Structure 1
């Protein structure tokens, strides 16, 4: 039943709110407190977890690889997400709307969109990085992943989301600020073009990246299977140079196994992100469902604190460095 038609529910909301046709999705103030608590917990875990990832790469020379440049970029995006979550907590708990300057709310919404898009685009870059590293010659990898080109890729991961986030600021498509429906700093649902902007965000941050990720990992799996079959006849050492051949094959095998383990770890990260992102992107383009949007968004935000746990339990290098830092 609509909360606005209930006297008891009305007592939980300020009478000074703007009179709009928006539906306030929170039935009671206790529900808003629950949402704020979940956001606060996610912010704390994400801040310390992703901070640990960044510190680990800084302290450990072994972790300073090309792939981990993108891993750090992903952690930085999650760190910024964690730093923006307190603004959402303030908005959700505020009894009289947004209590701080409007520009701060607009900035928070802008950064949240940037971080969301950066995470998705960075995961696509990680998938391509693993694809080139495992399936292409070493010279190809070295040519493609130079310092300048990697810097350009990182700029791209932030530039595309920023260009999407700035659309409401320079055009009539959408509006950033305090949304009176969800009590959050995001794009306003009261804007007549909010549906168009929601579709724009969903299309820009989901299908292209998803396609790149799926194709990359499918090609990696095919290459690993093909390569494994091709080296089976060569496992037995030759009579003339058996010791040397076996030793070289053993080194190559360990390197290959290590790359596969790292790729598996990053694939877990991708899977976790897609599981958290998919419901949010779907709900943006599906009519209705206003009551669950905030909870789907919380699932998306929860992804910001998952990755460090995956690194700590699955990644062969991060696991050791985390243990050294913490203990």
Structure 2
């Protein structure tokens, strides 16, 4: 017989799940760490969302893509609160909330990867075809692409998880479990379209961007003394800097995401997958920190928001120096 303290729901002695045997100190530490990451992730990405949405000069095609990514990262921060509920292996929020949590996690992950592909494509056109960038990459087209990215994520994940959505809690083996099961075909389809294909596209595009950016940097250094080329050089330098910054965002994203998918592909233990999933969640906290480090306009907008100057009339028309 199991002791009642070992069960998630002692009142359901014969059907309750068993709690994980984790030292109390580790449980408290994990609660503190996950809660802190969750609050920090939500707060930093909310600052980015407000910045790009409020200040008109920041309504560029590239920043719209960053806005889409920030919305995904902000949602991840909120989902981390649900992740803390599973620290001891017990889910107390019911089958419907379990389904909502898991479904949103799949959709947000898929949309984040799709947005990373769009960011890579944006930098590819900006660096490799700079003369055509303003005509090919417009705010209207970017908005349509972002909409399609999110819609495709919702539809695709709905098809992948249809059995779980039809009957929440269908695959739970005991009360207090939050299980999500997909078929092998659906799993491989998700792996292909949510990982292998987009990652391949991102790597190919950024390899091309890297080669062209290096050649442009050399050309700029050799012509920097020519006064007539100063404007062109400054524009190219700005594009190269943006490519490097967003390249860092993509690289960090890949480093945080690939281990989880690799372990999932190799069918390792669930405990390792859980820790690597948290690593992926941490990535959502790192993105706004990267923007704050490399983008002066983000630092300036944070100062305006924190000091409440954003509430003043005409604050949306404040100008930012190019960066």
Instruction: Please give the TM-score of this superposition, normalised by the length of structure 1.
Output: 0.79
Q: Deviations over 1:281-300 (max 9, x none)?
A: 11211123222121111111
Give the 5 Å matches for 1:243-258.
246=227, 248-258=228-238
Matched, 1:98 2:59: no
Give the 5 Å matches for 1:160-309.
160-171=152-163, 177=169, 188=180, 191=181, 193=182, 196-230=185-219, 237=226, 246=227, 248-309=228-289
Q: Is the 8 A contact 2:60 2:139 kept in 1?
A: no
- Equivalents in 2 of 1:161, 1:36: separation in Å? 30
Residue 94 (structure 1) shift: 8.0
Matched, 1:82 2:82: no
Aligned to 1:152: 144
Unaligned runs of 5+ in 1: 238-245
Q: Could you tell me which of 15, 19, 27 is aligned with 2:21?
A: 27
Q: Over aligned residue pairs, what C-alpha RMSD do you find?
A: 3.3
- Equivalents in 2 of 1:25, 1:307: separation in Å? 34
Per the alignment, do residues 168 and 202 of structure 1 end up closer, same or farther by CA in structure 2, a change over 3 Å counting? closer
Q: The residue matched to 2:268 in structure 1 has which SS?
A: coil
Aligned to 2:54: 59
- Equivalents in 2 of 1:173, 1:197: separation in Å? 14
Q: Could you tell me which of 116, 128, 141 is aligned with 1:123?
A: 116
- Equivalents in 2 of 1:18, 1:266: separation in Å? 53
Aligned to 1:141: 133
Per the alignment, do residues 13 and 37 of structure 1 end up closer, same or farther by CA in structure 2, a change over 3 Å counting? farther
Q: Deviations over 1:149-201 (max 9, x none)?
A: 222211222123223321355348998659679x775x52xx4x455544443
- Equivalents in 2 of 1:233, 1:94: separation in Å? 61
Instruction: Please give the TM-score of this superposition, normalised by the length of structure 2.
Output: 0.80
Moved more, 294-303 or 222-231: 222-231
Q: The residue matched to 1:317 in structure 2 has which SS?
A: helix
Unaligned runs of 5+ in 2: 308-323
Q: The residue matched to 2:21 in structure 1 has which SS?
A: coil
- Equivalents in 2 of 1:39, 1:270: separation in Å? 23
Residue 83 (structure 1) shift: 2.0
Residue 130 (structure 1) shift: 0.9
Aligned to 2:101: 108
Q: Deviations over 1:249-285 (max 9, x none)?
A: 1122112111211221111111111111111111211
Residue 113 (structure 1) shift: 0.9
Q: Is the 8 A contact 1:279 1:296 kept in 2?
A: yes
Q: Deviations over 1:10-31 (max 9, x none)?
A: 84333537769x9x79332635
